[in-house]
Amino acid sequence: MELELFQQHSETRWEIAPHGAMRVPAVIYADEGLIRDMDHKVYEQICNVATLPGIVGAAFAMPDAHWGYGFPIGGVAAFDADEGGVISAGGVGFDISCGVRTLHTGLLSQDILPHKQALAEALYARIPAGVGSTGNIRLSHREMEAMLRGGARWAVEQGYGEEADLVRTEEQGCMADARPEYVSDHARQRQRREMGTLGSGNHYLEVQHVTRVYDARIARLYGIEEGDVVISIHCGSRGLGHQIGTEFLREMVVAAPQHGIHLPDRELACAPIHSEVGQRYLGAMRAGINCALANRQILTHLAREAFAAVLPEARLSLLYDVSHNTCKVEEHLIDGRRRRLFVHRKGATRALGPGHPDVPPPLRDAGQPVLIGGSMGTASYILAGTHESEERAFSSACHGAGRAMSRHKATKKWRGRALVDELAGRGIIVRSPSLHGVAEEAPGAYKDVSKVVEAADRAGLAKNVARLEPLVVIKG
């Protein structure tokens, strides 16, 4: 993008003044290099978001922002329902509550290395991955209903984890006010055999080791040190979430003009929060969040089984679980007063600061863990939420590297077999059912995650704590 489009307020804050139908400014957090490399579509989309009714403060884009459906991926916007604020399915995304959870193992790098191959095979055998992947769990109608209401709590009650996992999960593992009755039979059918599966695209399970600690105090509160081995799981609500998004987007395209809302782009389809469609979508979306939380909880159970078979001394305890495709009701300080807002985060992570009551102790003293996934074969990061992020972006931060190239272009440039061999030469074992999928997710198809994290840190959105590098990658 051209820098002339922005007013630069700091090294990492770039503002677009309201113009045309914009109700508020638009702000992108990034350094100059990241801004220049962003597609112009990010500019168009974040300006369009700023036109929506009831938007508060500004429309924000994170350092990993790239083109998405309606909202840019990496987009954040908050709406006041009492001022005509809207809910947008495109502002949440199709993979509702896609997120990352990271687990301690109690092991060090040297404990893993002699068993890396066996561990990779054990994980690959137990973790269903790939397009249309299905697992061994078959949910009856009653079980589906309970899962959509109970989330990870339901999964723990079924024996797929432990109570301690719920304490370290957003919403304590269960999103309140879910309304399964608003989830269609088609969406349920798509999910009936997909619980405990990774799916495809950029989803993964990685065994990683901590290669650098940037903030020793926070790392100590998070229980991580250099050399530690951790596991990160990245996935979401699979077919159910996608179907919810698809169906409600169709409804919202019709509903918007009926409520006098002019859409600058059909993909921004939305409905007033207080409307009948808006309320039904919120209920269904919250059920989708619970589906994703339950899915990651079951995958945690399967990972524990794999480790128990190869390295029984491992103790897999949860560091934290965060989502990055949601709309949540939160209170934020706006112009000196607390306001109840519906905060959309699409490809963005909540980043609550130190002392926030929604962060469990002892993590509360450091701020919420912000888990940033890299692209296949590159580093991931653990950050911590900050006080400043509340004022700067409704306590939000980036969620990953962000694509720099389409999947189609990636498959033209790279071959999956060559990538697997190249990563093996670097000591990274990749297991995937699809070499085509590996090519789509080539590291070079993404932005440099280190630069994205550095920009988020410098912008005060989240504080860099530790760098993780992969040893084993299970890829969809």
Q: Mind telling me the catalytic residues?
A: 399
CA–CA dist 62, 349 (Å, integer): 10
C-alpha dist (Å) from residue 364 to 96, 158, 257, 462? 26, 29, 44, 14
What's the CA gap between 237 and 255, in Å, rounded? 25
Q: Which of 191, 199, 283 is nearest to 236 (CA)?
A: 199
Containing H/E element for 399?
none
Q: C-alpha distances in angstroms, 275 versus 81, 278, 290? A: 10, 5, 23
Q: Are 389 and 460 in contact (CB under 8 A)?
A: yes
Which DSSP letter does residue 161 get?
S
Distance CA 299, CA 100 (A): 12
Report d(CA 288, CA 274) in Å as an integer.
Answer: 20
Q: At how many degrees (to 10) do helices 276-310 and 141-157 cross?
A: 50
- Helix ranges (DSSP H) in 101-160: 109-112, 116-126, 141-157
Task: Find out whether 99 and 296 touch, Cβ atoms under 8 Å.
Answer: yes
What are the beta bridge partners of residue 329? Answer: 342
Report the distance separating Cα 342 and Cα 86, nearest Å.
8
- Report phi then psi at 338, rounded to 5: -75, 135
User: CB pairs under 8 A, 24+ apart, for 4-7?
Assistant: 5/43, 6/35
DSSP 3-state of 22: coil
Query: Mutual orientation of helices 276-310 and 116-126 as an angle, nearest 10°?
Result: 140
Cβ neighbors of 390 (< 8 A, separation 6 or more) are 332, 333, 353
Tokens read off for 414: 């790279």
